[in-house]
Structure 1
Amino acid sequence: MRIKEHDGEIVDIYAIYFINGEVNFLGMPKNYGGLSAYSAREVTVVEPEIEGDSVYFRNNGHGIYHWALIKENLLDDLLELDETAYNRFLDILKAEGRIDPDFC
């Protein structure tokens, strides 16, 4: 799945979650170092297909997440821009062929 921000940047999405009836996304913009949250009201979905293995997860909201965010406990660390978690997630995405080999 991909979204487009108001500035035209295209971002790959790795989670869709719902809090208080609002739809939100977690994506990884280039050169950011982790996951960034997006409101569905503020972006445009340009590729609606969700690829790869996903899992349902519930915390203060509920949603569908890329498997590694939950099963490898990377979610919180990626939201906090942890470099080790970021590199691990990049390795997983590259191995799955879901991200360009030169993405950073």
Structure 2
Amino acid sequence: MKIKENDGTLIEIYAIYWMKGKTYFYGLVKGYGLSVFNADKVEIIDPTMSGNFIFFEDGVFFKPLITEKILDDLVEGDPETYRRFIEILKAEGRVDLDFY
């Protein structure tokens, strides 16, 4: 799934969750980690979610975020966790090998 921010930046989505009647996305921001995006404030460019996703609590998440227990650290911007997540994405062919 891909979204576009107001400034035109395209973001790959790795989770969708619902809270208090709202829809949110977790998207990968290059050089940082996962950031939260309010579905009401972005444009959905590609609604397809393909790959290894699972339902967990109140959302649908890219499975390694849950099984590797890295979601919280990625959202907090931990550089080691970011590097680990990029390794996972490269191994699955979800990002280019020179992404980071």
Q: Same fold (TM over 0.5)?
A: yes
Tell me, what secondary structure is at the counterpart of 1:35?
strand
Identity of aligned residues (%): 46
Match of residue 30 from structure 1: 30
1:29, 1:80 → 2: CA distance?
12
1:29, 1:101 → 2: CA distance?
16
Structure 1 stretches of 5 or more lacking a match?
none
How is 1:1-104 mapped onto 2 (pairs within 5 angstroms)? 1-31=1-31, 33-58=32-57, 62-104=58-100
| Structure 1 runs, 4 residues or longer, greater than 6 Å off | none
Equivalent pairs, count: 100
Which amino acid in the other structure matches residue 85 of structure 1? T
Q: What is the root-mean-square deviation of aligned Cα atoms in Å?
A: 0.8
Q: TM-score, normalised by structure 2?
A: 0.96
Tell me, what secondary structure is at the counterpart of 1:91?
helix
Which amino acid in the other structure matches residue 42 of structure 2? V
Q: TM-score, normalised by structure 1?
A: 0.92
Structure 2 stretches of 5 or more lacking a match?
none
